[in-house]
Chains A and B, each alone.
Chain A
Amino acid sequence: MDVMWEALLLVARPDVLLTILAASTLGIVIGAIPGLTAVMGVALLVPITFFMDPVPAIAAIAALAAMAIFSGDIPGALLRIPGTPASAAYVDDAFAMTRAGRPERGLGLSLGSALIGGVIGVLLLMFAAPLLARFATNFSSVEYFWLALLGLSCAAIVSTGSALKGVLSLIFGLFVAFIGIDEVAGQPRFTFGSFELMGGVSFIPAMIGMFALTEILRNATRNAPKPEAPRMGPVFAGLGSTLVRRWRNVLRGGLTGSLVGALPGAGADIAAWVSYAIAKRRSRTPEKFGTGHDEGLIEAGASNNAALSSAWVPTLVFGIPGDSITAIVIGVLYLKGLEPGPIIFVKTPELIYAIFLSFLLANLLLLPLGWAVIRLARHLLRVPQAYLMPIVLCACIVGSFAINNSPFGVGIMLAFGVIGWLFEENGIPVAPAILGIVLGAMLEFNFVTSMLKSKGDLMTFVERPIAAGLGLVVLLLWAAPVLRALRSRT
C-alpha cells in the first residue's frame, strides 16, 4: 500500500489539483462549444503539458478528455450538433427530449451516466493494467510485433464508414511512419533531402493539423447560423430515480465501454455506437429509440466515458494507443521520458497510480462542473465563430511551434491540416491514419529486430506460446469478416 500512499502524495499537491481543475474547466468548455472536439482540445493542450511535471501533465490530459466527451453531449442535446463523434450515437434521443421541452432531462441523464461509466472505466484501468503489466513483462519483440499488427487490424476493421477508405487512411499513416531515418539500418527514407524530416514527422504538430486546423477549415464560413438554445429546468430533478431504475443500462454500458475501449484502435466513438445497439436489442421497447427514449442515451453515455479511461490500459501497458486521444498521450509519455510499457509499472509504480488517482478525481469533478456548464450552456453556444476560429488558429500555430521550437512544426501542421480536411471531405476517416503513424514504426521495428535475432527464421513468430496465441487472434480477426461474407453468399 506504500505505493498508493506515495501516489496520493503526488496527486494531493496544490499545483496538481489546480491543474486538474483548470484542465477540467477548459475541457468542459471546449466540449460544449460546437466545432471544438475532445481530441482537438487534447492536441492543443499538449504543447502546454510539455512543460509540466509528468503527473500534472498526464492528469491534465485525462481530465480534459473526460470533461469534453461529456460536454460534447450539450450542443448535441440542445442544437442537434454532436460536439464530439462519441455523442453522435444518441443525439436524436437527447434532442427529442429538448424539443419536448425537457432539455435538462437529457443532459442530466448524460451527466449521470457519464459519471458512473467513467468511474467503472477507471476502476477497470486501476485493477487490470497492473495485472496485465505483470504478464506483459514476458513480451519480447515478437509479441510486440503481433500486438502492433492486432492494433492495426482493429483500426482497419472497426473504423467508422467505408472499410476500404479506412484501409486507405491506415496505409497513409503507415507511409508517414516511414519518413525519417530507419533506425535499424541508419537509412534516411522519404526525407526529400530535409534534415528536419530525418527525425520523422513530428507527431504532435501533425495531430494538431489533422484535428484542429481541419476543424477551422470546416467552420470557416461567413454565414454561420446564430445558435439559440432553450431555457433549462432543474438538472437533478428525478435523475437519481431514473438511473436507479435503469441500473442495468448504466452497468452494461460501463462494462461494454470498458471492454471496447481497451481494444487497441477502438475508442469512445465506437464504444458509444456498440452500446447503443446493445441497448436497443435488449430493450423491451426498441421502437422508442431515437424518439427521446432514455435507455440508449444512458447506456451509450456511460459507455463512451468508460471507454475513455480503459483506452489507457493498452496505452500504458504496451504503448499501443486505444484511440486518437491516447495516441497523442503516447507522444507525451515519450516526451516526458516515461516510455510506456510494463517496465514503467516496475520502475515508477507510484507515478502510474498517481495517474490513476487523478483519473478518478477528474471523473468525480464531472458532477459539479457538469452541472455548472449545463447552466451556462446557453451562453457558451453563442460565442461567435468569427472570434473563436482565429483564437484556435493562433493556438494551433504557437502550439506546433513550441514542440520543437521551430517553424518546421508549423509547416507540418499546415500540411496535415490540408490532408485531414481533404480526407474528411471525401469520407476517409482520420483515426486509422493516426494509429498507422503510431503503430507503423512499432510494427516494422519489432519485425526487423525479431528477424535479426532469429537470423531470418520466420518460425520465431509462432514459437513462443503467447506469440502464437496473439497470432491466432489476428488471424481470426481477419478471417471472421471473410467467412461471414462467404457464408452469406452460399
Chain B
Amino acid sequence: MTLIQKMLTGVALACLPAGAALADYPDRPVTILVPWGAGGGTDTIIRIFATGFEEAMGQPINVVNRDGGSGVVGHMAIAQARPDGYTLGACTPEITYFKSIGLADLTPEKFTLISRLALIPAGITVAQDSPYADLPALVEAVKSEPAGHFQSSGSGIGGTWHMATAGFLKALGEPVDKIDFIPSKGGAPALQDMVSGGLNMFTGSPVEAKALADAGEVRILGIMSDERSDAFPDVPTLKESGVEFALSNWFSLCAPAGLPEEVTAKLAEAAREAHGAAVVQDALAQRGITPYFDGPEEFSTFAAGFADEAGTLLGELGLVN
C-alpha cells in the first residue's frame, strides 16, 4: 500500500460508522479467506463448516479463495487483514514453518488461532499393478531396497505430505530422504503420474485417492493415523504394521493477530456450535475427513508443538534456511 492509499483508507475509516459497538458483533457479513484453491481439501472443509457457521453467527459467511505461492499469498492476506472479526481465515500447518523454510515472515504468533476444525491423515497408495500386495510388504521393501528406489509425491517440497514421508522413514529408522520426494501441484497430478508409471508411491491423503481406488486404478495400502478411519474401514494404520508414526494435515479457523478478546470468545463459541451440528459432522465424515475441535488454548499449544516437530524434520531434510 502506498502512503496515499493508507491516508485515504484512514479517512474512510473515520467516516464509517463501523466499530461502534463490539456488543453488536457481527452486524455484517463475515469473510473467510481460504489460502488454497477451490475444490481442494481446505476449501471443501471450510465450505462445509461455513454452512453451520452462518447459522451460529447469524450473518452470511463469504468463503473466498486466495490461493497461489504455496499458500503464502492467502496466509499473508489473513495476517494483514484488519483484526475486527470480519475477515477470518483457514490456516493450515504451513503457518508453523513458513518462516523456517524462508518463504515468508509468518509464524503462528501472527494469527489469532481459534480452533482446528478437521484432520486428514496421510496415507500410502500405490498403483493397481504395483508389486506390493499390502502394507507389511511395502514397509519391508522400503527397508530393504536402496535409497531412491521409491519415488513418492502428493504435495510440494516441504509440504505436509513431504513431512509425512520423512516422518514415516524416520520412524522406520531409515534416513529421512531414502524415498525421493518429487514435488507436485496437489494430489490429482501426483496420482496421474503414479498411474502412468512415473512414480511408484503416493503419500498424500487417501481422500484424494478414493475416486481412483474405486475406479480400480490405485490401491490404498495404509493410513497414517492412530486409528482406522470410518471412511476407509479396510485400510490398516501404520501402527498395525508396527510403525509408530501418525501424521495428519489439519485445517483450522483463524484470524489476524490482535483480535479483541470478546470477539475471539464469540467466534470460538459460534465455531463450536457450528462444528457440532449434525450436518457439518456428517458432511465431513462422508468425505473421509475427521472432524476435530480443540478451541483457542489447546490449538495454540498444539501449534507450538507442531512447529517444533516440523522444524526438526525440515532441518533433517535440509530445507531450513
Contacts and interface: CB of A to CB of B under 8 A. Distances in A.
Interface of A: 137-143, 180-181, 183-186, 188, 195-196, 198-200, 202, 334-339, 341-343, 346-348, 404-406, 445, 449, 452-453, 455
Given A183-B157, A199-B73, 5 more contacts: A140-B193, A336-B38, A337-B37, A337-B40, A346-B211
A302 B185 CA distance: 39
Contacts of A183: 70, 156-157, 183, 185
A346 B188 contact: no
A461 to B, nearest CB: 12
B306 to A, nearest CB: 19
A406 B76 CA distance: 13
Contact of A137 (B31, B102, B180, B192): B192
8 contacts: A138-B196, A139-B196, A140-B196, A140-B197, A184-B156, A198-B72, A336-B38, A406-B77
Interface of B: 31, 37-40, 43, 64-70, 72-73, 76-77, 101-104, 148, 151, 156-158, 180, 182-186, 188-189, 191-193, 195-199, 211-212, 215, 217, 319
Contacts of A405: 31, 64, 66
Given A183-B185, A337-B43, A343-B192, A199 B67 contact: yes
Contacts of A339: 186, 188-189
A490 to B, nearest CB: 44
Contacts of B101: 186
Nearest to A140: B198
B196 A200 contact: no
Given A199-B72, A335-B37, A141 B156 contact: no
B102 A186 contact: yes
B248 to A, nearest CB: 21
Contact of B73 (A143, A184, A186, A198): A198
Contacts of B76: 195, 198
Contacts of A139: 192, 196
Nearest to B194: A140
Contacts of A198: 68-69, 72-73, 76, 104
A183 B196 CA distance: 22
Nearest to A138: B196
What are the nearest 7 A-B pairs in CB distance?
Answer: A337-B39, A199-B68, A140-B198, A199-B73, A198-B69, A199-B69, A140-B196
A141 B193 contact: yes
Contacts of A180: 68-69
Contact of A181 (B31, B40, B72, B192): B72
B212 A343 contact: yes
Given A336-B39, A453-B180, A195 B104 contact: yes
B192 to A, nearest CB: 5
B215 A346 contact: yes
A184 B148 CA distance: 18
A186 B198 contact: no
B193 A335 contact: no
B103 to A, nearest CB: 6
A33 B77 CA distance: 40
A405 B31 CA distance: 11
Contact of B183 (A142, A199, A348, A449): A449
Given A183-B185, A198-B73, A445-B185, A347 B211 contact: yes
Contacts of B72: 181, 195, 198-199
A449 B196 CA distance: 15
Nearest to B106: A195
Nearest to B73: A199
B217 A346 contact: yes
Contacts of B67: 199
A475 B192 CA distance: 26
A342 B182 contact: no
A336 B317 CA distance: 34
B195 to A, nearest CB: 5
B39 A452 contact: no
A343 B68 contact: no
A49 to B, nearest CB: 12
B47 to A, nearest CB: 11
A43 B24 CA distance: 40
Nearest to B80: A195
A335 B69 contact: no
A195 B103 CA distance: 10
A39 to B, nearest CB: 23
B69 A184 contact: no
B198 A338 contact: no
B189 A195 contact: no
A199 B66 CA distance: 9
A335 B65 contact: yes
Nearest to A202: B68
Contacts of A181: 69-70, 72, 103
Given A184-B157, A347-B212, A404 B183 contact: no
Given A141-B193, A337-B37, A186 B68 contact: no
A185 B185 CA distance: 13
A338 B189 CA distance: 11
B224 to A, nearest CB: 23
Nearest to B216: A346
Contacts of B65: 335
Contacts of B31: 405
Nearest to B156: A183
A343 B214 CA distance: 13
Contact of B182 (A138, A142, A188, A452): A452
A186 B199 contact: no
Given A196-B73, A198-B73, A335-B65, A449 B103 contact: no
A455 B151 CA distance: 11
Contacts of A455: 148
Nearest to A441: B185
B183 A200 contact: no
A4 B184 CA distance: 32
B293 to A, nearest CB: 25
A406 B68 CA distance: 14
B313 to A, nearest CB: 15
B183 to A, nearest CB: 5
Contacts of B40: 337
A138 B217 CA distance: 12
A130 to B, nearest CB: 14
